[in-house]
Amino acid sequence: MKLKDQVAIVTGGARGIGKRICREFLSEGGSVVIFDVSGDTGENTAEEFKNCYGSGRAAFYRVDITSAGEVKEAVERAAGEYGRIDILVNNAGITMDNLILRMKIEDWKKVIDINLTGAFICSKFVAEKMIRARSGNIINISSIVGIHGNAGQANYSASKAGLIGLTKTLAKELAGRDIRVNAVAPGYIETDMTAKLPDKVRDMLLGKIPSGRLGSVDDIAKAVLFLASRDSDYITGTVLGVDGGMGI
């Protein structure tokens, strides 16, 4: 059991990659608190987890990570109910794609607000607890497009590149308190987000992946578990690409 008795907050954990990360943590003995705006989906996910792993080990809090007030209150609640917060996974993210001339200013701001500012807000309030405990682990879910860019995703790529800067800075600020901060940069993963892609785009992408397949949510969850566990004790400030070689 790699995360026995550890408590993790996973943003956007109601579905997709975040949900799979929660399952990985639970199966390694941890407890999870999901921060998500998806009301019914979040409740159902937490119910599913409680049935599999026991009622005390999973909770869903309806939290909009762009609201500092909501996040502060939810972090206090999690710390009160579970007694500790060992891990934060900043996973919640959205896309609002368009080429720059067509991209609305509101769509730029919304993506930066959720993907980047939301991660900053969660890190800020959770780091306060971790600094006091003199231990902790923060993992940010970036993206391959935060490293290489992608036409039609100026807002999303900038938010994911910003997360890499946030990761490296927090790693430097918090290492002295035994808090590690790393990022995972997934390539193209089979999720609702990529299911919308037309077949032509999908085939074109496959041609760019040396491993010859899209990634799975399992691939990401295993990488996040590695960074969350003692197996990666001497690793901080890194960006772990999980992309089938697409970034080579």
114-131 CB burial, b ≥16 within 10 A, e <16: bbbbbbbbbbebbbebbb
Task: CB nearer to ligand NAP: give 192 or 199.
Answer: 192
Full strand arrangement of the beta sheet holding 179-186? 58-62, 31-36, 7-11, 87-90, 136-141, 179-186, 239-242
Which positions from 219 to 248 touch ligand NAP by CB under 6 A, shown as an x/- string? Answer: ------------------------------
Q: Which is nearer to ligand NAP, 76 or 233 (CB)?
A: 76
Q: How many whole angstroms separate alpha carbon 101 and alpha carbon 151?
A: 12
In the block, tokens 């949510």 appear at 217
Q: Can you tell me which of 25, 85, 87, 93 binds ligand NAP, judged by CB under 6 A?
A: 93
For position 192 contacting ligand NAP by CB under 6 A, the verdict is yes
Please give the residues from 14 up to 33 whose contact with ligand NAP meets the rule CB under 6 A: 14-18
Shortest approach of ligand NAP to residue 146 CB, angstroms?
A: 8
Q: Which residues contact 235 (CB under 8 A, 6 or more apart)?
A: 180, 182, 227
In whole angstroms, the minimum distance from the beta carbon of 150 to ligand NAP comes to 10
Residue 64 found at the interface with ligand NAP (CB under 6 A): yes
Query: Which residues belong to the active site?
Result: 156
